[in-house]
Amino acid sequence: MQSEPDPSKDTYRLWPPGPRLLAALGASALVALALAGGLAYAGGLFTPGRLTQRAIVDTFQKINGVHPGFRRNHTKGACIAGHFESNGAGQRLSKAVVFAPGTLPVTGRFAVAVGKPFVPDNKTQVRSLALRFELPGGEEWRTGMNDIPVFPVPTAQDFTGLMTATAPDPATGKPDPARVSAFFGAHPEVAAALKRITGRPFASGFANASYNSLDAFRFVAADGTVTPVRWAMMAVDPDVAEPADQPGTPDPDYLFDDLAARLARGPVEWHLVATIGQPGDPTADATLPWPDDRQKVDLGTLTIDHIEAEAAGNCRDVNFDPLVLPAGIEPSDDPLLSARSAAYSVSFTRRAGEPKSPSEVQFPAQGGAPQ
């Protein structure tokens, strides 16, 4: 590089701009453009057709309307509390502290799987149980389970497709049959999964229903052994099938009121049961059941003894992100898991910043709490 030592008054001369200054400005502009362009690309600015977590939540809002302060799905719910007593049987499968023998506090939420806060309970077909196990040292295990045997779709793309295809047509108030059959024609696996879901035994309430993780996870043992699992909360209360036709106008909140009445008679229990996957069992597709003969391990007992309406600081303000996991439980290759985690985060962030209004589900002053 040829350059004479510059007189200092010229070294920092900005005006009139010399060729060196213009070269520096040009180089700066190029670097800035490359970095800003790269960041915009990473943020999806140049791929507007790509399905993002924001788009998924937008679809919920388009179909259900925006209900400020409420979850975008599983909107109507109530908060529960109790404990989990581990029997230690899970220790050989997972090093997670939750499976060491002992008792841990658990909070959670029962809900119906609809994105509208005031939907009558009898207009819903899926019930959910979300739980938050608090482990020593700040670790947590959060899980969101449903009372269905398989998930209706294998991917987030299909989930959005199914929601859109089966959304009520604004003109008729009913789903457009042509769109519905076109979607199921193109997605036979979704039709098959929905057949399993609608054909399942339907329990009469929250207390005697069983809830499945649906997605597969990986249990990691202390020695590093990895075991594919799906887990379930199996009801201890007797399974009473829901009567097909209920005369008269049912209590719109009968599921929640029945649960509160049941809790007033005493705590309700479930067994946490892990189903052990064998090589070849599908872990990346939640629409496919695992064979019935797979080994099932009872890991302990969940006892719920308290229910309360959603309020500031309780389950209302908790994101039951299925990938809040303790060491010893890891996500499988199921693509729904990361997508659920991402979409839940958007739903949580949106509702956190919105004004809140009371839930449809409220309980009399003494509640269903025995204590």
Please report, in range form, the residues annotated as the binding site for heme: 344
Tokens in use for 210? 């069983």
Q: Quick one: which of 368, 362, 192 has its CA closest to 288? A: 192
**CB of residue 130 vs another protein: minimum separation in angstroms?**
14
Residue 70 CA to residue 360 CA, distance in Å, equals 11
**CB of residue 209 vs another protein: minimum separation in angstroms?**
27
Nearer Cβ to another protein, position 94 or 210?
A: 94
Q: Which residues of 5-27 are buried (b: 16+ CB within 10 A; e: fewer)?
A: eeeeeeeeeeeeeeeeeeeeeee
Nearer Cβ to another protein, position 212 or 319?
A: 319
What separation, in Å, do the N-terminal and C-terminal C-alpha atoms of the chain show? 84
Residue 260 CA to residue 211 CA, distance in Å, equals 19
Nearer Cβ to another protein, position 203 or 343?
A: 343
Radius of gyration of the chain (CA): 26
Nearer Cβ to another protein, position 205 or 331?
A: 331
Residue pair 148/138 in contact by the 8 Å Cβ criterion: no
Residue 169 CA to residue 308 CA, distance in Å, equals 36
Residue pair 338/323 in contact by the 8 Å Cβ criterion: yes
**CB of residue 65 vs another protein: minimum separation in angstroms?**
21
**CB of residue 151 vs another protein: minimum separation in angstroms?**
15
**CB of residue 143 vs another protein: minimum separation in angstroms?**
14
Nearer Cβ to another protein, position 122 or 157?
A: 157
**Can you give the binding site for another protein, defined by CB under 8 A?**
1, 3-9, 11-12, 18, 20-21, 23-25, 27-28, 31-32, 35-36, 38-39, 42-44, 50-54, 56, 97, 137-140, 156, 312-313, 317-319, 321, 323-324, 326-327, 331, 335, 337-339, 341-343, 345, 348-349, 351-353
Q: Quick one: which of 143, 107, 149, 147 has its CA closest to 127? A: 147
Q: Token pair 């302990």 is at which residue? A: 300
Residue pair 297/262 in contact by the 8 Å Cβ criterion: no
The catalytically annotated residue of 67, 74, 83, 187 is 74
**CB of residue 27 vs another protein: minimum separation in angstroms?**
5
Question: Cβ contacts of residue 301 below 8 Å, gap of 6+?
Answer: 84, 85, 87, 236, 269, 270, 271, 272
Q: Measuring CA to CA, how many Å separate 328 from each of 88, 99, 277?
A: 14, 10, 16
Residues annotated in a binding site: 344
Cis ω for the linkage preceding 19 (within 30 of 0): no
67 is a catalytic site residue:
no
Nearer Cβ to another protein, position 282 or 335?
A: 335
Instruction: Please give the positions annotated as active site.
Output: 74
